[in-house]
Structures are given as C-alpha cells and as structure tokens.
C-alpha cells in the first residue's frame, strides 16, 4: 500500500490484479483493491482492471468492480470519465445487473459534479 501511494511504478500490478479478485478471501482482496485504487491517480491505466471486470459474465465480479469504481468516484471523482461510466451503465442495463448498475449510477452522479482531471498537467 505504501508503494502504491508513493512509488506506484514499483508495484507489481500483475500480482495485485490476481489478488484483487472478488472470490479471494477478504483480507487478501481488500488491501490489493485498495492498492489498485490508490494507484489510479499516478497510473490511470489501472482503471482498466476495474472496467474490464464490469464485462465479466459473473455478476459478483461485476458488482465487485462497480463497488471499487464507486469508491473511486466518492474519493477522487475527477479521475473517472463520465462518458465511460455512461457507456458501462448502458451495457449493464441490457444485462440487468442491478447491484452493479446501482453502484455505477451513484458513481456517475459524483463524477458529473466534478471537473475531470486531465492525464497531463504540463504539455505542449
């Protein structure tokens, strides 16, 4: 967790990704998910892990990913893209994934209230 916050480039993301799964014991997956969420600001590509899990055929995995995204939306909404959330909400509505859908809708409300942070603050 300390590395995730202060030296995210040193974190073995592949290991975290394997540990941060919904069917892992809570005391394993909770800190792994916390580390992944902590890395989103420094390494925005880690969001892909949560968004890809929203496309799982397993409803529990979708709910787990939606919960992580909702947590990010509560704490750092500027890191999420409202259009991407809308797209995922539309897809989940077709699947009738109610738990995940409800969490993403709440996340979208938080994200829409905030101006999105650009990936690069200093550019040409």
* Predicted confidence (pLDDT) at residue 119 exceeds the cutoff of 70: no
Residue 34 sits in which domain range?
A: 2-112
Residue 51 maps to a domain: yes
Residue 119 maps to a domain: no
Residue 31: per-residue pLDDT: 94
Q: Which residue has the higher pLDDT, 91 or 1?
A: 91
Residue 122: per-residue pLDDT: 58
Number of structural domains in the chain: 1
Residue 121 maps to a domain: no
* Predicted confidence (pLDDT) at residue 113 exceeds the cutoff of 70: yes
Q: What is the chain's mean pLDDT, rounded?
A: 91
Residue 120 maps to a domain: no
Neighbours of 42 (CB within 10 A): 14
Residue with tokens 């590509």: 45
Q: What is the pLDDT of residues 2-61, one digit of tens each?
A: 888 888 889 999 999 999 999 999 999 999 999 999 999 889 999 999 999 999 999 999
By residue count, the chain amounts to 124
């Amino acid at each position: 967790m300390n590395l995730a916050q202060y030296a995210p480039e040193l974190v073995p993301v592949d290991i975290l990704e394997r540990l941060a799964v919904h069917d892992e014991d809570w005391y394993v997956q909770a800190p792994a998910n916390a580390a992944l969420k902590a890395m989103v600001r420094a390494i925005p590509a880690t969001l892909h892990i949560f968004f890809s899990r929203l496309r799982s055929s397993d409803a529990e995995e979708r709910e787990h990913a939606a919960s992580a995204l909702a947590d990010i939306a509560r704490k750092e909404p500027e890191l999420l893209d409202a259009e991407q959330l809308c797209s995922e909400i539309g897809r989940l509505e077709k699947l009738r994934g109610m738990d995940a859908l409800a969490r993403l809708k709440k996340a979208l409300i938080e994200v829409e209230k905030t101006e999105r942070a650009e990936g690069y603050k200093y550019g040409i």
